[in-house]
Each structure stands twice: as structure tokens, then as C-alpha cells.
Amino acid sequence: MKATKLGVMTFSAMLVVSACGGGTPAASGGAAGAPAACNNKVGTSSTEIHVYSSLPRQGTNTEQTNTLVEQEKKILDGVKVGKWTIKYFDLDDSSAANNGDWDGTVEQANANKAVNDPDAMAYIGTYNSGAAKLAIPILNQNCLVMVTPANTYPGLTKAVNGVTKPGEPDTYYPGGYRNYSRVVGTDDAQGAAGAEWAKSLGGTKAYVLDDTQVYGQGLAKSFALAFTNGGGTILSANGTSEGFDPKASDYNALAQKIKSSGADFIYIGSITGNNTGKLWKDLRSAMPDIKIMSGDGVYEKSWYGGVGSAGNGTYLTFGAIGPDQLTGDGKTWYEQYKTDHGGTSPAVYTAYGNAAATVVLAALNKAATNDRYQVLKNVMATSGLATVTGTVTLDKNGDVTGGGITGYQVETSWPPKFVQLFQSKGL
């Protein structure tokens, strides 16, 4: 069904955010003042610069990651930067042992592979925030810059009271400087947008669930805190998000507990691969009319394939501007993508793979050298860069400024219908 724009809702920053330590290297000057980890990190090849991507290339994630890799390669692979030619490496951080989802051991191996290649100048990834927690420190100790098209957990770059864990984000930057950036928003904003939306839909008593992973917990806790701050009541354990077992054979008991609680709204923070098909089916079986909302972790065709009709009516948020809502060059890109792919629309993160690669390419061109520190400085100083997702400017934490949150609702088929665009100064 054709998306219908109902309007734009603004929401105020409902969560208290504070930046943590660890400076961003300046964008100009020579090696003077470089972090110790950046000493002598110069490539050995006189002809090649290497860029690594690390994403889950199996299982339910491939709808997203196939398109991310396609866009990244299109922007980077074979492109000349001065006397060097960029060579793009597509690494898989998933494993069959983990049912095709990201695997921490594999992600750490990927990060180590990249840092041990002297010609590696940038690392694009990860798809999952939990994987990023493992990769960032390895890259940080070796002066390799990381640009993610998809990580949204706030604790990777900033502290958010009631959401992030003690010591975050400084614990991920052992070198005392920042080497990580993202072109999408963070879940403190996405969760707050969801809470505002839930309230406008008549939700007053919410039961909040998460899959116990970094992303799911961060998003669900953000929703719970914002919902409470907005006058709502959280009925799940301890007045915040309650974890569900992704390996459970069924969720009938959980569904009955939620039904008995008197909740009029359910919020779920999870990725598709964590048994969401069974979870939605059991919740819908017990409460066919209750409103359910989730985030971009399940904004995948494979999620809808797993939940079937139990997913109908679900409200979904995406932590940036959805591809069908891009304007200007983004709209042109969107239409061209459909033309090039037989009318198929891009996955929700596809454009952000393009944007991440554009940030890397711009930094490589500005650095005009195969020195990791120079590339890192220029990535972290990105400002006013035109991309298909809009103008990208990074703040001192490496977070993109501006942007918004896009709201959709599943009707009776995939893709879902556009409903609402949320904008906030806090993004």
C-alpha cells in the first residue's frame, strides 16, 4: 500500500544525556599531538588503501546487509584516492553456530584482521551494537577509525541516565580518544519518539520487553524512561524493561502475565533473530487487540515473514529518516535504486551504508595520505558533508547531528505504511 503522510510530530528531549571523556583528534595539523596508538600507523603499499566492512552476512540480516555492502562497494571499491586505489573487504561477523546472527568471537577476529593490515585505513560496521562494543576498543588501540551505518545504542558514544551502563562510553576508548562515528541516530531519541507516539495512540499502561542484548535493552529502557517521564505507567518488572528469553519454546506464560497486568500497550526492544516470530504470535493469541510497538531491530521483511499476521497492526520506528521519506538527492537516489532493482525498494538501512561510505571516501580524499591518524581526524571532523541521507555533521562524540525518527505501521503486508516523522533537537 502506498505510504500516506499524516504529519510531523516534534518531541522534546526527555532523557538526560551527558558526554563522556576522550577527545576527538583535531582535523588539521601533522602527527604532533597524535595519540600514542596512532604513532607510525602508515600504510606500506604504494598503490592500495584498504577499507574493511564487518556485518552479519547470514541469517535474517541479509536483507539489510546485502544492500549495505552493495552501496559501500559502489562508493569505494576501485576508486582512486591520490596515487592509491581503494580495495574494499567484505567481512562476515555472523556464524552458523549463532543461527546466522552476529557472533562476538567472529567480530573480534574481524577487527583484529583489519588492524593487523597496515594498509587498512577505515572500518565500516557494525550492524549490531553489541558487536560494536567488542570492535571499538580493538580498533581504538590501533588508530583505525570506525563508521557505522546502523548502530544505535547510545552508550557507545555518550552516557544517558537510566539507559546506559556505568563507565560507558569511556570503557570502549582505552586510548583516551574517539575513533568511532555513526550516520544514524541513537536509541535515547528513538525510544523517546516511541513513547510520545504511544501516548498519542492512547497508551497509558505499558509493558516493556527486551531480548537482553545491548541494542534491545537500550531501546526498551529508553522507551520506558520517556514513557514514565511523559506521565505513563510501566507495568513490567521494576518499572523498566523486562528481559525475555530468546530461546524459550513459547511465551504463553509471559503473555498471560502481561494480560493480567492490565497493560494497554506493549513495547518490544529486540532484533529479528531472537525468536520474535514466536513472541508476537503468543502475545497476539492472548491479546488480539492490544497495541504493540517495536524499533528498527525488527524492521525487516524476514521479521514479518516470521510473525505473519500476528505482526499486523504493529507500530515500528526507525532511528533515522526512512528511505521513502528522503528528500533532494536522497529522493533521487531512492527512485534510482528502485529502477536499478526492478522496482524493489531499498531496505531501511541501505541509504545509510551509502552515507557511511561517503564519509569514509571524503576523509580519505581530505587526508590525501595512507596515514591512519590523518584519515581518523578527517572522519571525526566531518561537517556539512552532502550524502544521500542529508547533510552529515558529526558532533564531538562522533554522533550525527539533526535527522529524525520515522514511524511506520504494518497493515496486512510488507513493507509497512509510513505514518509519522518525529524530529528533535536532541538527535
273: domain CATH number? Answer: 3.40.50.2300
375 pLDDT higher than 60: yes
Q: What average pLDDT is seen over the chain?
A: 93
Residue 33 has what pLDDT?
Answer: 82
User: Which residues, other chains included, contact 298 with Cβ-Cβ below 8 Å and sequence gap of 6+?
Assistant: 268, 270, 271, 272, 276, 316
Q: What is the DSSP letter of 213?
A: S
Q: Do 159 and 192 belong together in one domain?
A: no
pLDDT band at 1 (very low <50, low <70, confident <90, very high): very low
**Could you tell me if residue 71 is inside a domain?**
yes
**Could you tell me if residue 358 is inside a domain?**
yes
**Could you tell me if residue 378 is inside a domain?**
yes
210 pLDDT higher than 50: yes
**Could you tell me if residue 28 is inside a domain?**
no
CA distance 11 to 423: 7
Note if the pTM is more than 0.75: yes
**Could you tell me if residue 341 is inside a domain?**
no
Total count of domains within the chain: 2
Q: Do 141 and 202 belong together in one domain?
A: no
Q: Do 268 and 411 belong together in one domain?
A: yes
Residue 32 has what pLDDT?
Answer: 59
**Domain span at residue 206?**
188-321+405-423
Q: Do 369 and 241 belong together in one domain?
A: no
Q: Do 280 and 352 belong together in one domain?
A: no
Residue 337 has what pLDDT?
Answer: 98
**Could you tell me if residue 235 is inside a domain?**
yes
**Could you tell me if residue 416 is inside a domain?**
yes
284 pLDDT higher than 70: yes
CA distance 296 to 305: 16
Residue 326 has what pLDDT?
Answer: 98
**Could you tell me if residue 29 is inside a domain?**
no
Gyration radius of the chain over CA positions: 21
- Beta strand spans in 145-262 (E): 145-148, 158-160, 180-182, 205-210, 233-234, 242-243
Residue 339 has what pLDDT?
Answer: 98
pLDDT band at 15 (very low <50, low <70, confident <90, very high): very low
More confident residue, 60 or 385: 385
More confident residue, 135 or 402: 135
What pLDDT digit, counting tens, does each position of 83-132 carry?
A: 999 999 999 999 999 999 999 999 999 999 999 999 999 999 999 999 99
Residue 399: which of 192, 167, 160, 162 has the closest Cα?
160
Q: Do 285 and 415 belong together in one domain?
A: yes
CA distance 144 to 122: 6
Residue 244 has what pLDDT?
Answer: 99
What pLDDT digit, counting tens, does each position of 164-179 carry?
A: 999 999 999 999 999 9
Q: Do 127 and 229 belong together in one domain?
A: no
Q: Do 247 and 378 belong together in one domain?
A: no
**Mean pLDDT value across residues 128-143:** 98
pLDDT band at 423 (very low <50, low <70, confident <90, very high): confident
CA distance 364 to 367: 5
Q: Do 150 and 171 belong together in one domain?
A: yes
Q: Do 225 and 215 belong together in one domain?
A: yes
Q: Do 360 and 268 belong together in one domain?
A: no
Q: Chain centroid to CA 34: how far? A: 29
Residue 11 has what pLDDT?
Answer: 38
**Mean pLDDT value across residues 351-355:** 99
Residue 424 has what pLDDT?
Answer: 60
Q: Do 48 and 153 belong together in one domain?
A: yes
Residue 177 has what pLDDT?
Answer: 98
Percent of the chain topping pLDDT 90: 90
β-strand partners of 8: 421
